[in-house]
Structure 1
Amino acid sequence: MLTLLSRLTGIFLVTMTLASAAQSSDSQKSILITGATSGIGRNLAESLAREGHHVYAGARTDAEMAELNTIDNITAVRLDVTKQDQVDEAVQFIEERGTGLYALVNNAGIYDGGAVLDTEIDVLNLVYEVNVEGVLRTTKAFAPMVIESKGRIATTGSIAGTVSGPGFAAYSGSKHYIEAFTDSLAAELEPQGVRVSVIEPGNYQTQIRRSAVKRAMSRVVGDGGVVTSGMEKQFKAMEEVELSYKKPDEVTLAYKHALLADAPLRRYVVVPNAEEQRLTIETKIRELVELNSWGPHSYDNEELVEKLKSALGQ
């Protein structure tokens, strides 16, 4: 009797263990993050990995990949979003691992540019090569796996996609594209069960500004010039500014809602202070007024207020 009871208990425990493992496997999501070596991408990758999800982390160098591979639940993938061969190889790599792909996070991006009349065409092209073409390239490549999973696609935009000003035309322009890209892709993939979001951060601690200064100094050297002490001071000042910002934990929270919540939002404006929120929303309101300022079909003030109330109600 005791022997039979022991056997039944053993069978029960094994069954429960297998069921638990199956449940854990079903709940674990495989998520690819481009630009996962620092800043927002790294913060998100580590947070998702800690929670038991499997992260494919895009990196460009051997050293970056080796570092990422030391983290539990993270698998480094060599992925420069400007290189089609690396994108294709990353697709093949994930397919061969057999994990499927629940979500794609288009996070890789750069800042560069300057005043409109001073920006060289090759600098503008570089920004769009990464921030626009890179997003489109990776999305086209990995969308079939995400569609099969009925999963999620989320992209790092910016409040600069709404707010622009002196020196920001190239970068803001690339983030304006992400706004249009998100709306179009969301409408196109909704019938296939895929939800699409854009995360629009304000000023958080990343390396995007320091990287821009480094590229500017490299261009000077490439043109036969010399990096001056003034340029070095500029880099140091930029470093101090970036390190003074909050870490992007709030951006990660928004991303996790977009990727994992039952009812994700289309847009997530994530800012570290009330001033950046005010600036973003007031810019949208000003644009609304400007759009309504000309032509015979404009709404009067009361009609505009009713439209806003209706939208808030939805």
Structure 2
Amino acid sequence: MLVDRGLLSYDEKVVKYWPEFGKHGKENVTVKMLVSHQAAIPFPNETLTWDIFRDHEKLAGVLADSVPQWEIGTGHGYHTMTMASFCSVLVYKVDPKRRTLGQFVHDELYVPFGIDIHFGLPKELFHRVARMEEPKYTASQWVELVRNPLLRAFFLGSLRGEESIWNKVIRNMGELSDPYRLNDPDNRMVEVPSAFGTATADGLARLYGILANGGDLNRTKLLSKAAINTLKTSVIKGMDKVVMKENEWGPGTLISDIKIGKAFGHSGAGGQEGWANPELKIGYGFVTNTPTVSLSENGQRYLLLRKSLYDCVQNLKK
């Protein structure tokens, strides 16, 4: 939205808006490189804590001090715990109202469009939130765990004493690695946008449905058609250095080949999903309060529902 309004450019270097970001060889990273996970900073140097995220200026300093984990420009890797926080600092730097990402989303999505997505949930809305619960794995889900290449690499690497980038990401999460702390309303009020957003499936579907249908709802514009075309345009694809699988990134969006057209959106740890399919003009979302180890569209619950959705669409087109 800020790019659409001319306040930010994908092609400009991040240091134009945030000079401190240029430390440790990051001075030539562009906004487009950052939001397509090419800045080589999937985790910061400092172990993450709730208190870091409670202080936006401190968070900005921790992120600016981050050291790249591979040579910038040689590939991409999912910026697991940093991407949305980098975006939050950029929003704050260029937004005339000096809003954080959570405040911006509330004012620009929740209020005008009824998009039920929050980064830092107001305590008065906590009564609507389903409590996070431990998953009870079925036999098929245990098979899914064993087949997951990321988990296999993580456990085998741990046994061998190896430190993959993913192992370092998990270790760096510190006290934030326990999602069940979100059952405390004081923690859910904290903006941790890369991991602990709060949303309904309807909220995700509404957001991506608007994007799949030209960017406006009831004559109120969310994004221009040009901006939406940019979101679904590939920036980089190939083997991800962090999650160790092939993927394709647009500017802040995952791009996925579906059997009917291409979709863009994002997966979330634990099995959360939100996607737009402009060819079919549909948006859809899936959320769960029993997180699994699913990552990047491999959750069986979600995949079965997605298959049913597309089967219905195909039947309607006949």
Q: Provide the TM-score with structure 2 as the length reference.
A: 0.26
The structure whose residues are more often helix, as a share, is: 1
Q: Provide the TM-score with structure 1 as the length reference.
A: 0.27
